[in-house]
Amino acid sequence: MKNFIYIISMVLLPSVLAGCSDETNASLNTEEITFKKEDKIESESKPSAVKTEGKDKKDSVWIKEKALFQFEAADGKLNYTVFLYAEDEQKVTLEEDGSKGEKGDSVYTGHYSVYLAEKDGDVAYKQDVLQDFGELSFNPSKEQAYPLNMRNKTIISVFQENDKHLAKGELLAIKDGEVVEISLEKELITSAHAKVKTINQKFIQTAQTNQKQWVFSTWLFNEETFSLTLHDREELKKDDGNSISWMDLWLDEEFIYYPFKNLELGSDVIEKAKQGIPFGSPYPIGTHITEIKKSDPNFIKEGISNDIPYVMYPEITYYFEPETGNVTAVSIPGQRMRISIDEITTLFGTPAEQKEAPLSGGQISRYTADKYSIEVFSDEDGKVSKVYVVK
């Protein structure tokens, strides 16, 4: 068997969803996401049924040895094995670095077909997908073919590079014993350097770049219609230092997604802040940082800023006292709100204090909430870039 065959677990990996707190799950501005016990993939599942009529077939043991990629996949409680195989497969070893990979990488080219077998079944059946895509090329050291777990279904993603930095993808899933293509509202383009991300088992996120900006797109998977629609898109200018760090993090860590519209501010924000309850966080100020990290251990990073230690998640950053470990402030990215300082003024009224923010060319507007303070940072265009709730 080829040593680069990919095999995944049937368990819905909770660690992949790190950074998605319970609060974030409830604030996606979509229908409520609930999981019934019977919807989840269980370790002891029913035998699968593959449609066989009119389909070419291969011996499972044989194709397991010959296939370039192999994935375990699921449709509800039904378990399958998916193979990607080409009869005319050709292998070349790159003699120098280039758009297809680094020197010494193996690149496989051919007219690839998808085969589907029952899990541990003896026969794999050829599927009617990828037939119109002609010759495909894969470098197994890159992220070009891999599974995504979306609640009780497995999506098989197949990407081909458009250029050195971007890849165009097709998504496949199993429906009634056959592999089908997922309908895409728009072309699925993402970075060639990292996998797409799963968010709360119902969304995936892609990232791409052009000369002026980074673009993060969040897509909603409809498991009833087997379709993917654009749910949200964020654009970050490259001259924004924050955008560069976010893209690096997105590329480096599989569980990190980029904050998208998932918070709607209300007039009750200040009243909650008076009680030490910051909007956008399930933890009140004063919570010990170890409690937060224990509850959600897959934070992005931790460090010290202006002598104050912090722990950063995609949707919020917690600052805490070094002596006690108690949280004293939180910072929420403005991308989660998409609101202007004028709208903030309409909601909260005239700030107690307003001053210039030299680095952004914008302003800092401070609102008081008893022993707490809400500081709203806006850029030169008047858009809110971040919000602090400080004790």
- Position 243 scores a pLDDT of 62
Q: Which among 237, 184, 230, 228 is positioned nearest to 209, based on CA atoms?
A: 237
370: which 2 tokens?
């008893």
What's the number of CA atoms in the CB half-sphere (13 Å) around residue 103? 3
The C-alpha atoms of residue 315 and residue 22 are separated, in whole angstroms, by 11
Residue written as tokens 């119109």? 132
Residue 241 pLDDT: 58
pLDDT the model gives residue 48: 54
Say what the pLDDT of residue 36 is: 40
Query: What is the rounded average pLDDT of the residues 154-176?
Result: 92
Task: Tell whether the model's pLDDT for residue 382 goes beyond 70.
Answer: yes
Average pLDDT for residues 302-309, to the nearest whole number?
91
Does the structure show a pLDDT above 50 at 25? Answer: no
Is the pLDDT reported for residue 159 higher than 90? Answer: yes
pLDDT confidence of residue 167: 92
Banded pLDDT at 28 (limits 50, 70, 90) = very low
Do the strands 78-85 and 384-390 form a parallel or antiparallel pair, or are they unpaired? unpaired
Name the more confident of 314 and 225.
225
Q: CA–CA separation, 391 vs 308, rounded Å?
A: 13
pLDDT band for position 35 (50/70/90)?
very low
Judged by phi (left if over 0) then psi (alpha if -120 to 50, else beta), residue 349 lies in left
Q: Given a cut of 80, is residue 27 above it in pLDDT?
A: no
> Which range scores top for mean pLDDT: 4-8, 116-120, 257-261?
116-120
With a cut of 90, say whether residue 70 has pLDDT above it: yes
Q: pLDDT tens, 196-253?
A: 999 878 899 999 987 778 899 999 999 899 999 999 888 887 766 556 677 888 888 8
Q: What's the mean pLDDT when you consider all of the chain?
A: 83
The phi and psi torsions of 177 (rounded to 5 degrees) equal 80, 10
What pLDDT is recorded for position 87? Answer: 95
- Six-digit token pair at 68? 């370039």
What does the angle CA 132 – CA 226 – CA 123 come to, to the nearest 5 degrees?
A: 65
> CB pairs under 8 A, 24+ apart, for 181-187?
181/129, 182/155, 182/221, 182/226, 182/227, 182/228, 183/225, 183/226, 183/227, 183/228, 184/227, 184/228, 185/227, 185/228, 185/229, 185/230, 186/230
For a pLDDT cut of 90, what percent of the chain falls above it? 45
What pLDDT sits at residue 240? 61
With beta carbons less than 8 A apart as the criterion, state whether 384 and 334 touch.
Answer: yes
More confident position, 32 or 329? 329
What single string gives the DSSP state of each residue in 332-379?
EEGGGT--BHHHHHHHH-S-SEEEEETTTTEEEEEEEETTEEEEEEE-
Tokens 């980029």, residue located: 258
pLDDT band at 84; cut points 50, 70, 90: very high
Q: Which of 19-33, 64-78, 126-140, 247-261 has the lowest mean pLDDT?
A: 19-33
| CA separation for the pair 227, 304 (Å, rounded) | 43
As beta bridge partners, residue 183 has 227
Amino acid 221: pLDDT: 94
Domains delineated in the chain: 14-252 (no CATH), 269-390 (3.40.33.10)
The mean-pLDDT minimum among 41-45, 55-59, 164-168, 380-384 falls in 41-45
pLDDT band at 12 (very low <50, low <70, confident <90, very high): very low
